[in-house]
């Protein structure tokens, strides 16, 4: 069985940043990138809100650069999927791809969260071409344009309110005849003059072409009526699913499955196990926030190993 001081699970902004910091601290980190190296940002076209790129940068390019930097400073980045974990005692036992076992003195969980989609083939087709699950990330690209938001909860109302400040028109597609959002959020979104709520409606198809991307949405009312609306952007706001299942038997999670960390730290309830990025962040879900939490996790892991007498070689 291979033994490592610091094992990082997840190849997004949090995982790569943790790898950079732990490598520079001479902890010889090993990182498994999972099914989607680079994380959700690799499905995003342009990123204009990550500091240091005044003209913006493609999501794939940003993640490729983070990855290359981690490799350059000495992190051992590997392809592979963690399929089992035993955190009952330290060193922790991690299984990769159902067969390889690793013993780790510290573990940084940076497995992210997966946005919930409707499951439409057309929705998948136009991901990154008008279909988005993050208004804060991508709303800027739709200034002065018409967009649609799917959902009726607090997240959907927040996304619609944010987009209303940028876009000419915001349609909200809501399955029921009421919001599930809090009273305050309902009042806020209903007071916005450029937001139109399509009650008792569901999305039948995202319309568009591969040259221009999204051009509209086919909507169906509960009474059977079907109609099209012209939009340039289609935003999903029906929630995220934190990828924490493998670890929830040991680490504390909230009602939605997000890993609970102590205060401003990355510490979980299990000594030597730290969490970073979207898997422990139900509020912000931004690349720069994930990178920052990856830094904290790395520093917390380094301090923990130092106290155990297992720091720098």
List per-block mean pLDDT (blocks of 10 residues) for the chain, which spans 313 residues.
95 96 96 81 76 89 95 96 95 95 97 91 93 89 97 90 96 94 90 97 96 96 96 93 95 96 96 97 89 97 91 63
pLDDT of residue 128: 86
Q: In terms of domains, do 77 and 103 share one?
A: yes
> What is the per-residue pLDDT for 45?
65
As for how many domains the chain has, the answer is 2
Per-residue pLDDT, 312: 67
Do 95 and 131 fall into the same domain? Answer: no
Residues 106 and 6 grouped into a single domain: yes
- Is position 81 within any domain? yes
Say whether 134 is catalytic. yes
163 and 175, same domain (yes or no): yes
Helix (H, G, I), strand (E, B) or coil at 136: helix
Which domain range does residue 87 map to?
A: 2-114+240-307
**Exactly one of 6, 46, 134, 201 is catalytic; which is it?**
134
Domain assignment present for residue 217? The answer is yes
Give the model's pLDDT for residue 86.
96
- Number of neighbouring beta carbons within 10 Å of residue 93: 16
| Interatomic CA distance for residues 242 and 209, integer angstroms | 32
Q: For residue 193, what are the CA distances in angstroms to 73, 107, 161, 197, 230?
A: 52, 49, 11, 11, 18
In the annotation, is 157 catalytic?
no
Which position among 46, 64, 138, 300 bears the catalytic label?
Answer: 138
Q: Are residues 88 and 7 in the same domain?
A: yes
Q: Which of 6, 137, 157, 167 is catalytic?
A: 137
Instruction: Tell me the sheet residues that pair with 197.
Output: 172
Q: For position 167, which CATH number holds?
A: 3.50.50.60
Query: What are the C-alpha distances in Å from 180 to residues 87, 155, 204?
Result: 37, 10, 21
- Active-site residue 138, yes or no? yes
pLDDT on residue 49:
85
Residue 313 falls inside a structural domain: no
Question: How much is the pTM?
Answer: 0.81
HSE (CB half, 13 Å, CA atoms) of 195? 25
CA distances from 209 to 120, 123, 215 (A): 15, 12, 8
Same domain, 182 and 79: no
């Amino acid at each position: 069985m291979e033994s490592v001081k610091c094992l990082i699970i997840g190849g997004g902004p949090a995982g790569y940043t943790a790898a950079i910091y732990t490598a520079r601290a001479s902890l010889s980190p090993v990182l498994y990138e999972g099914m989607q190296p680079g994380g959700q940002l690799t499905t995003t076209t342009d990123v204009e809100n990550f500091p240091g790129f005044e003209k913006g940068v493609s999501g794939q390019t940003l993640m490729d650069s983070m990855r290359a930097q981690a490799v350059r400073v000495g992190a051992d980045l590997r392809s592979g999927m963690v399929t089992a974990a035993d955190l009952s005692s330290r060193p922790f036992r991690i299984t990769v791809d159902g067969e390889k076992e690793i013993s780790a003195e510290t573990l940084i969980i940076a497995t992210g969260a997966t946005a919930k989609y409707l499951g439409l083939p057309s929705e998948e087709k136009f991901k990154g071409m008008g279909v988005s699950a993050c208004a804060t990330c991508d709303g800027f690209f739709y200034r002065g344009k018409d967009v649609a938001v799917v959902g009726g909860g607090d997240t959907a109302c927040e996304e619609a309110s944010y987009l209303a400040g940028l876009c000419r028109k915001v349609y909200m597609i809501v399955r029921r005849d009421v919001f599930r959002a809090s009273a305050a959020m309902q009042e806020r979104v209903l007071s916005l003059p450029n937001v139109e709520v399509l009650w008792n409606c569901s999305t039948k198809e995202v319309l568009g072409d591969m040259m221009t991307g999204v051009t509209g949405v086919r909507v169906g009312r509960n009474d059977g009526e079907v109609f099209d609306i012209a939009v340039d952007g289609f935003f999903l706001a029906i929630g995220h699913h934190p990828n924490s299942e493998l670890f929830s038997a040991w680490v504390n999670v909230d009602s939605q499955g997000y890993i609970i960390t102590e205060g401003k730290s990355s510490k979980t309830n299990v000594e030597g196990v730290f969490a970073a990025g979207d898997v422990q962040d139900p509020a912000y879900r931004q690349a720069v926030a994930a990178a920052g939490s990856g830094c904290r996790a790395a520093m917390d892991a380094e301090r923990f190993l130092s106290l155990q007498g297992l720091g720098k070689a």
